[in-house]
Amino acid sequence: MSGKNCLSLRQIDNLKSNNIMKNNNLKHKALLFLLLVVAGVAKAQTFQPYKSGIITYHGYPFPIVPGTDEWKNISHTQRVASLQLPADTLQSISTARLLETCLYYPFNIDIFALDDQIYSFTKVKEQFNGYAELYQRTDFVQELMNLYASRNISFVNQMETDREKGHYAFDYHIMEFMFTDAAAMASDSQASQMEAMLMEKKEQKTQNSVYGSTNRIAIALAIGRCLQHTNVFSDYQGSTLQPFLQSGKPTNASDVDYIYSKATKP
């Protein structure tokens, strides 16, 4: 071959090699981009109770995440069904992980659907099989005490958004509802420890405006049920305390004050 515009065989081979390399690079970049997109979608679809990741979630990864398009496109009944734990998971999941799963069950918010929050909590428990399994575990009470004790009241101040501050306070609220049931399942020793721990948290929360007073009834009921183990209410002359401890419906504000007066002071 001759002429200024003619290429040698070596030059042609070099061009082919360069084109192959460019094509391979483009393929690699496209594959990398696809992997990043998939990873991003997977991350966005993964259930996490705290958007910032400030609290690590160890519970069951609910397959349909609240707020996603898939969640929005199904009925309430379908949502409840999608959150149920598979039978093999119920048998194999540790109590600690199961407790976190129940703590972050998406429909816990329905507790506030009615003024009678104890009744609402009962209804929430009835619709989720995770609660049914949790309350059968012999180590449930101890695991609940461990988790509750591990949370730091002042940690809420490290959170930047009001949403997550409110969520952290709500976590305490749910655990205190659990204590109202756990008190009847506890040993006398555990009940005494629970009562002292609940009272300490209650005192700490009154010093932090984030927590407000939304849990006053729940924590008073939990402490009161713990105190029943030691029969400290035998000298109480009021007629409304025992009905409150049974139903969770206060009819006399002095009952709550009386419970706190009998509780262990931190």
Say what the pLDDT of residue 52 is: 81
Contact 35, 42 (CB under 8 A): no
The pTM for the full model equals: 0.80
45 or 70, which is more confident: 70
Say what the pLDDT of residue 45 is: 66
Say what the pLDDT of residue 10 is: 56
- Residue 44 predicted with pLDDT over 60: no
**Residues in the chain, total:** 266
pLDDT category, 13, cuts 50, 70, 90? Answer: low
Report pLDDT digits (tens) over 102-146.
999 999 999 888 778 888 999 999 999 999 999 999 999 999 999
- Residue 17 predicted with pLDDT over 80: no
Name the average pLDDT for the chain.
84
Contact 200, 178 (CB under 8 A): no
Q: What percent of the chain has pLDDT over 90?
A: 56
From CA 85, how far away is CA 32, in angstroms rounded?
Answer: 34
Report residue 138: phi and psi, to 5°: -70, -20
- Residue 5 predicted with pLDDT over 60: no
From CA 203, how far away is CA 209, in angstroms rounded?
Answer: 12
Say what the pLDDT of residue 210 is: 87
Contact 155, 168 (CB under 8 A): yes
Tell me which amino acid residue 193 is.
Answer: Q
Of 155, 153, 161, 125, nearest in space to 140 by CA: 125
Say what the pLDDT of residue 138 is: 96
Instruction: Give 107: exposed, middle or buried? Use CB within 10 Å, 0-12, 13-18, 19+.
Output: middle
- Average pLDDT (72-83) is 96
Say what the pLDDT of residue 254 is: 86
DSSP single-letter state for residue 87 = H
21 or 89, which is more confident: 89
Interaxial angle between packed helices 117-127 and 162-185, expressed in degrees from 0 to 180 and rounded to the nearest 10: 80
Alpha helices in the chain (DSSP H): 9-45, 69-72, 76-82, 87-92, 95-103, 117-127, 129-134, 140-150, 162-185, 188-205, 216-227, 241-247, 253-262
Report pLDDT digits (tens) over 184-209.
999 999 999 999 999 999 999 988 88
pLDDT category, 229, cuts 50, 70, 90? Answer: confident
- Residue 39 predicted with pLDDT over 50: no
Say what the pLDDT of residue 6 is: 52
